[in-house]
Amino acid sequence: MKTDYEVVIIGAGVAGMTAAIYLKRSGISCCLLEREIPGGQINKSSSVQNYPGIMEITGPDLANNIFKQVNNLDIPYKYGNVLEIKVQNDKKIVKTDVEEISTKFIIIATGRISRKLQIANEEKLIGKGISYCALCDANFFKDQIVAVIGGSNAAMEEALYLSKICKKVIIIHRRNEFRADQILVDQVKNTSNIVLEVNAVPISFNSKDDRLSSITLNQNGKTWDLIVDGCFIYIGQVPASQIFKDIIEFDDDGYIIVDEHNCTNVAGIYAAGDIVKKDAYQLITAMSDGVIAAVNCIKNRNN
């Protein structure tokens, strides 16, 4: 069977690029397809300090270093927004807004995106006070005042985590009741440096010297500004999986279901990184998935 590549990787985040490096070093022809810039989400981080072996690096520098490895290996990297995949027995077709590519194996590494509040200045202040990842960024706000927006388990868990690092954590929630487990709500209420602002709807983020300085809230009909150093938004994450919905099996949250080999329900189609449900959405877990998916493409290619 003749195909353009043996493996097409959709998404050049860290999971996709790691898979590509392992494939190419094993002599497998592969191609990376990306609709934005190489590196994915980590490009939004101003400082990565938990990547073993590197004391500190900016997200874009880390992404660029991995992309240099991809280029040094002469791995084809193409711009393309993948719109659809088609399965024709052993052959798969990947359709982008630019072209159609045939392949034997596909690795889906399309990651996920944080659900946005979509209020004024949110995009502009990401990485400048606004974050979607307490595990990653809490230490930048050590002994400072931060807000957490949301009322879910994730919002409660991250507020508790932040309360150990920050001076004060203010949870902003648009309702009176939380959508979180009672045990977490109780823990939050019993933590002395966590304050609740309920029935409060964020209207805009405000900045001073190009950093977040306050959040304008509408609370019980009254508008006021909450002064903060940082704000963590937990109103949900959205896996970028919708385009595969007719072919690939998802869980209820839209995460692709894989087996221990990172294989999906369709033979020859693997998924890697944040698109797969996991306990920790981090660089090394995404890369680990990329390695497992690549290694299984290599094994099955030789079968």
Ligand X SMILES: Cc1cc2nc3c(=O)[nH]c(=O)nc-3n(C[C@H](O)[C@H](O)[C@H](O)COP(=O)(O)OP(=O)(O)OC[C@H]3O[C@@H](n4cnc5c(N)ncnc54)[C@H](O)[C@@H]3O)c2cc1C
N residues, the chain: 303
Alpha carbons 303 and 294: distance in angstroms, whole number: 15
Q: Are strands 145-149 and 130-131 parallel, antiparallel or unpaired?
A: unpaired
- Determine which residue in the list 9, 22, 24, 34 makes contact with ligand X, applying CB under 6 A: 34
154 belongs to the binding site for ligand X (CB under 6 A): no
Label residue 254 exposed, middle or buried (CB < 10 Å: 0-12, 13-18, 19+): middle
Q: Which stretch binds ligand X (CB under 6 A): 125-133, 164-172, 221-229, 257-265?
A: 125-133
Number of CB atoms found within 10 A of residue 88's CB:
9
Q: Report if residue 141 touches ligand X, rule: CB under 6 A.
A: no
> Which amino acid is residue 263, in one-letter code?
C
Interface region with ligand X, contact rule CB under 6 A, candidates 6-14, 115-123, 146-154, 183-191: 6-14
Phi and psi torsions of 298, nearest 5° = -60, -45
Cα separation of the two ends of the chain: 15
Q: CB of 231: closest distance to ligand X in angstroms?
A: 12
x/- track of binding to ligand X for residues 79-98 (CB under 6 A): --xx----------------
The residue from 119, 165, 201, 243 that contacts ligand X (CB under 6 A) is 243
Site for ligand X (CB under 6 A): which residue of 150, 202, 239, 273?
273
Q: Is 129 near ligand X (CB under 6 A)?
A: no
Three-class SS state of 270:
strand
Instruction: Candidates 109, 138, 171, 292: give the one binding ligand X (CB under 6 A).
Output: 109
Q: What's the CA gap between 69 and 37, in Å, rounded?
A: 15
* Residue 11 interacting with ligand X (CB under 6 A): yes
Q: CA triplet 68, 128, 235: central angle to 5 degrees?
A: 95
45 contacts ligand X (rule: CB under 6 A): yes
Q: Which is nearer to ligand X, 50 or 223 (CB)?
A: 50
80 vs 151, beta carbon nearer ligand X: 80
State which residue, 82 or 269, has the beta carbon closest to ligand X: 82
For the record, the structure tokens of 62 come out as 């880390």
Residue (41 or 214) nearer to ligand X, CB:
41
The H or E element containing residue 194 is strand 194-197
Our finding on whether 50 is near ligand X (CB under 6 A) is: yes
Least distance (Å) from ligand X to the CB of residue 53?
12
CA-CA distance, 141 to 118, in Å (whole number)? 23
Determine the residue type at 206. N
Q: Is residue 44 involved in binding ligand X (CB under 6 A)?
A: yes
Q: Which stretch binds ligand X (CB under 6 A): 138-146, 148-156, 253-261, 274-282?
A: 274-282
**CB-count exposure of residue 31 (10 Å: 0-12, 13-18, 19+):** buried
Residue closest to ligand X (Cβ): 111
Q: Which residue's CB is nearer to ligand X, number 168 or number 278?
A: 278
In the list 67, 105, 132, 205, the residue contacting ligand X (rule: CB under 6 A) is 132
Report the greatest alpha carbon distance in the chain: 67
Kindly state whether residue 48 participates in binding ligand X, applying the rule CB under 6 A. Answer: yes
Structure tokens at 173: 């929630």
Cβ atoms 173, 150 nearer than 8 A? yes
The residues that touch ligand X, with contacts defined as CB under 6 A, are 10-16, 33-36, 40-42, 44-45, 48, 50, 81-82, 109-112, 131-133, 136, 240, 243, 273-274, 281-283, 286
